[in-house]
Structure formats: structure tokens, C-alpha cells
Structure 1
Amino acid sequence: MLEAKLQEAGTLKKLLDAIKELVTDANFECNEEGIVLQAMDNSHVALVSVKFSAPAFKRYRCDRPMPLGVNLAALTKVLKCAKDDDICTLKAADEADVLNLVYEAKTSDRIAEYDMKLMDIDADTLSIPETEYDARVTLPASEFARIVRDLSQLGESVRIEVSKEGVRFAADGEAANGSVLLRQSDGAPTATGPIRPKSEEREIEAVDEDGEDDDAAKPAAVKKEKDDDVEMDKDADDEDEEEFKPKADDEDGEEEKEDDDAEDEDADEDDDSAGKKRKKSGSSSKPAKKAKTAATKGKGKKKAADEDAAGVVIEMNQHVALTFSLKYLVNFSKSATLSPRVQLMMSNDVPLLVAYDFAQGYIRYYLAPKIGDD
């Protein structure tokens, strides 16, 4: 049995809008790790690969691997009945011939339920080999969409060239030619090793981190040093707290002295007021400093995120130049609604990889380059 609850139906709607013009019928392969779709277009020029990871669902259950053969146009129509912020649940029994979709409104008690007929699609499971690319260009998805849309007005093909100068998109048409050059953003990293899709790099890092316990792998001396640091920090905190206690006691003592000694009243009041001012300034300085530091860090993180979203990162091991069909790239760019960033992975004589990573998984497009006049 399959039960997959997605927090927002809008994510699935955007995904289908991006691939429905490339693929007509396809199998959603469901297993304990998530839901995967891999299919080629009718001309076998482009391949699309989609993955929804199991942890991305609000609730996910798949007792055994099962394919869900669907007509994407029909599924799109059924999803149009849901609001973007509706909770969407996909249900299917073992060897079922229907897919049950339930939409739950977050702002009301409305629950809508639809059944869609499944198809028996005889399609071979495609194996995509892991590839190390010569160049990777990461840029805003909106910028990529604009470039391919503009150049598609001039011609049918675009030449993408990655060099030390930057990445250049050039199209030649019967009436006009055009090109767009994107240079590396300041402070962007450069390639220092094998280039793979970022989602694969994160998976490798996650495996490395989960493969061994950092604390268990550290020598005992390192652990002891770490524990000592914690104790020192604790002692330091205790000292900071004790610094204020004598001052408070002094203040009480001075007030009692003021009651007992009327002759020194004026002097004690002057000393008292000065001491209180010092205490107030001392006690308020540290929290204010911490608040300012936290606010500064928050602004720095936001600024870094904004710069990362707007910048162009070019990682290159060697010069790459290939020509591709603009019609397909325009279709790929529709996935900009899923992710603010897009990766272009290129190697000479290897299909182009256009990758979008989003919170629930990823969508990847593979496009074969044009050779000669083809």
C-alpha cells in the first residue's frame, strides 16, 4: 500500500506543469526511499528525472515497490481541482488500478477526494550513469529562463560556451544574431576537483558524516580537552554571575549605613548613585552587545543568501562549447517556479544536465547536444 501526504499540492502542480509537454505517459516508481519518475520524450532527445524523497512528505508509507502508470495530462486536470496550499494525499493499494487523491483545505473543513484510473505502461527502467562533468554553471533560474526565451526569438539553437571569460549563450537566426555573456560573480568558488550535481555532493557528504561518529572517532585526549572546555566555560559563567553578587551586597550595606549614619548621608548617597550608574551600565552592556551581534549575524546570513541567489558561479576544469535545441531549454526553464537556482552541467560530447533542487527533492533534464547541422 502507498500513502504519501504532501504539505502543499502546489509543489506537485508546478512539477507536472514543467514536464507535461515533454512526457505524455510515465510510471511513478514508488519505494521506501520515495517516488521517482524517469522518462524520455517521444523523439528520444531529452530525458527527465524527478525524485520526491520520503522525508519530504508529511507522512509516507510504501509497503513494497510499485509503479503508478499515469497520463500526465489527466493528472494535471485532477490537480487543478486542488488549491496550492491544500494538503495533498496520494493513496494506492497493492496492484490497484486507481490512484486516490485527497485534498484537505488548511483554512476550512473542506475535504475533496478524487479517483484517477492508472495505466499499465510497459517502460524499461532507465539507468543514468554517474558522470563527472568538465564545467558547472550555477545561476538564477529566472535569468536562465529569460536568456533562453529571448534567444528562442532569433533561432532554433543556442551555443553554450564555458570559458575563463564566463559563460556565453549565442544564437544565430536568419534575420539577427544574439549572445549573452555571464561573468563569474565576485567571491564565487572555483572548481578544485570532480564536478557533480550538488544534490549528489550533498548525499556523499551525508554518507561520510553518517558513516562514523565524530565523537567516537576522536582520541580520548581530544574528548577530555572538549570536556575541559565545557567545564571552563561553565566556571567562567559562574564567575560572571558572582561578580554582580558582591556589588549587590555592597549596595544593601550602603543603604543600611545610610540609615544608621546620618552624618555620612550625603557622601553615601553620592557614592551610592555613582555605584548604581556603574552597575546599570555594566549589567546592560553585555546583553546589548549580544543582541547587536545576533542581529548583525542575522543580517549577514540574509545578505549572503541574497548574494548567493543573485550571483553566477562558474566551476570549470576545461573549456566546453556545445549546441542545443532552444525549444527543449525553454521547456526546462519552466521549472524555475520550483527553485530559484539552476545548475548547468556540461562536458564535451556528453548530454547537458539542467538540474533544479527544491525542498522535496529534485528535477533533472538531460539534453543531447546537436552535432553538425542536425
Structure 2
Amino acid sequence: MVELRLVQGSLLKKVLEAMKDLVNDANFECSAIGLSVQAMDSSHVSLVSMLLRSEGFERYQCDRNVSMGINLGNMSKMLKCADNDDIITIKAEDCSDSVTFMFESPTQKISDFEMKLMDINCERVGIPDYEYNDIIRMPSAEFAKICKDLAGIGDSVVISVTKQGAKFYTNGDIGAAAIVIRQNTTVYKPEEATIIKVKEAVSLTFAIRFMNSFTKAAPLSDTVTISLSSDLPVEVEYKIGEMGYIKFCLAPKLEEDEN
């Protein structure tokens, strides 16, 4: 049997909003470690990996490893019925073809929503443990604005990192745009700092629509970490407090893709 009680129910809602436009269906894996998802988008260009550790739940019962096949769009509709201050409990019986979401409000109102599970046969693809040369750590809201602004100009974004800073560049039919950020650790709040670590200069091109989609995880964390190396997928990571993380990987565009 699976029973997961999350006091901060809004957190689960934010996780679903961050993933549902990228992935249609996914297996939610429940194990002793926690609740996790690893899935690719339909074009097999990007990958999302999410973990909510067991110790972050008020109650975490998982008698054995369980895989729950879920349509993220349907789950999102269920979770929208919960208020942000509701406690959310996820329940599933052994060998059941459905999962129950229970929402408990501060006014003692209790709502139960039952959703059918899916049989999703897909290979579990994990994010490789790459050694990245260049790391950008910046406010997640600032990264979201950069991606949104550039998405209105072009279809691709070139991310170039040097000792002088990081440059985000796009070129489209209506013109071009370049945004440069530099290291800034003099701010009063650590979450507002921009930290750039460079081992070697890198310049890679990515589809801006995917990067823009990744920024939907910004409400989960004040900061985002962008890891890059030549010829490797970019990794965009948002920490979910001390409870876990959500990571996105995106393959760079090759020259023939750009042409």
C-alpha cells in the first residue's frame, strides 16, 4: 500500500505545473527513497527528473516499490481542485488500477478524488552524472525573464560562457537580442546572487521553447543552476528546499539543425 501525506500541498501542484506541458504520461515511482519521476518529452529531446524525498512527507508509507502510470494533464486537473493551503494525501492499494487524492483544508473540509492509473511501458532513462565545466547559478525569476524575452525574438538561444560572464543570444526574423549577465555576489540576500564558475569557455545552441518550458519550475525555488559543457546536454536544476529537486536536460542543437 502507498500512503503519502504532504502538508505543503501547494508544492505538489507546482511540481505538476512544471512538468505537465513537457511530458504527457509518466510513471511515478514510489520507493524507500521517495517519490520520483524520470521521463522524456514526446520528441525525445529533453528529459525531466524529479525527486521528493520520503523524509519531506509527514507520513510516508510505501510497503514495496510501486510504479503508478499517470497522465500528468489529468493529475493536474485533480490537483487544481485543492487549495494552496490544503494538505494532500496520495493513496493507492496494492495492484489497484486507481489512485486517490485526499485534500484536507484548514476548515476541516475533506475532499476525495479518484483517478484511473495507466499502464505505461517505457524504459527508465536516468540523467547521467556528467562532470560539467561551467556552472551558472542565478535567481530563477531572472532566468525565466531572459527566456521569455528571447522567445519573442527567435526560436533558438545561444548560451556562451566565458570568464567575463554568460551571454544569452537569439536571432530571428524581426531582429536579434543579446543579454549578458556577470557574477554578482555583493547582494544582501544569497538567493539574489549570480555565481558563474568557468573551467573552459563554451557556446551551445538550444531550442528556446524547451528552455522557456523549464522555467515553469521557477515557483519551486528562488535560484536555478544551469550546468554546461561542450557537446553535452544542458542541465537546468531547481532545488525543492531540502526535500528534493527537479532537473531538466536538453540536447544542444547541431549545426545542421540550425540550418
**Same-fold status (TM-score > 0.5):** yes
Deviations 1:103-131, CA, capped at 9 Å, x for gaps: 1112x121111111111111111132211
Contact (CA 8 Å) 2:127, 2:249: kept in 1 or not? Answer: no
Answering whether residue 164 of structure 2 is matched by residue 165 of structure 1, we say yes
Answering whether residue 205 of structure 2 is matched by residue 330 of structure 1, we say no
Superposition deviation, residue 318 in structure 1: 0.9
Partner of 2:231: 349
Report the structure number with the largest CA radius of gyration: 1
Higher-strand-fraction structure: 2
For residues 315 and 350 of structure 1, what CA distance do their matches in structure 2 show?
A: 17
Query: Counterpart of 2:36 in structure 1: which amino acid?
Result: V
Partner of 2:113: 114
For residues 186 and 127 of structure 1, what CA distance do their matches in structure 2 show?
A: 33
Partner of 2:130: 131
Deviations 1:4-47, CA, capped at 9 Å, x for gaps: 00012211111111111110011001101101100000100000
Deviations 1:65-114, CA, capped at 9 Å, x for gaps: 010001111111111111011000001111111101111112x1211111
**How many percent of aligned residue pairs carry the same amino acid?**
41
For residues 330 and 6 of structure 1, what CA distance do their matches in structure 2 show?
A: 28
Q: Secondary structure at the residue paired with 1:129? A: coil
Deviations 1:293-315, CA, capped at 9 Å, x for gaps: xxxxxxxxxx85x1x11111001
Query: Residue 314 of structure 1 is aligned with which of 170, 193, 196?
Result: 196
Partner of 1:21: 21
Displaced runs of 4+ in structure 1, greater than 3 A?
none
Answering whether residue 89 of structure 2 is matched by residue 54 of structure 1, we say no
Q: Secondary structure at the residue paired with 1:370? A: coil
Superposition deviation, residue 334 in structure 1: 0.8
Query: For residues 93-104 of structure 1, what are the structure 2 equivalents within 5 Å?
Result: 93-104=93-104
- TM normalised by structure 2 equals 0.96
For residues 40 and 64 of structure 1, what CA distance do their matches in structure 2 show?
A: 25
Answering whether residue 8 of structure 2 is matched by residue 8 of structure 1, we say yes
Superposition deviation, residue 186 in structure 1: 4.0
Q: Secondary structure at the residue paired with 1:90? A: strand
For residues 186 and 16 of structure 1, what CA distance do their matches in structure 2 show?
A: 32
Answering whether residue 252 of structure 2 is matched by residue 369 of structure 1, we say yes
Partner of 2:146: 147
Contact (CA 8 Å) 2:38, 2:126: kept in 1 or not? Answer: no
For residues 79 and 193 of structure 2, what CA distance do their matches in structure 1 show?
A: 34
- TM normalised by structure 1 equals 0.67
For residues 368 and 129 of structure 1, what CA distance do their matches in structure 2 show?
A: 13
Q: Secondary structure at the residue paired with 1:35? A: strand
Q: Secondary structure at the residue paired with 1:333? A: helix
Query: Residue 339 of structure 1 is aligned with which of 221, 242, 259?
Result: 221
Q: Secondary structure at the residue paired with 2:255? A: coil
Deviations 1:135-157, CA, capped at 9 Å, x for gaps: 00000000000001001111000
Instruction: Extract unaligned runs of 5+ from structure 1.
Output: 188-302
Q: Secondary structure at the residue paired with 1:168? A: strand
Query: Counterpart of 2:255 in structure 1: which amino acid?
Result: G
RMSD: 1.1
Higher-helix-fraction structure: 1
For residues 173 and 351 of structure 1, what CA distance do their matches in structure 2 show?
A: 23
For residues 85 and 91 of structure 1, what CA distance do their matches in structure 2 show?
A: 19
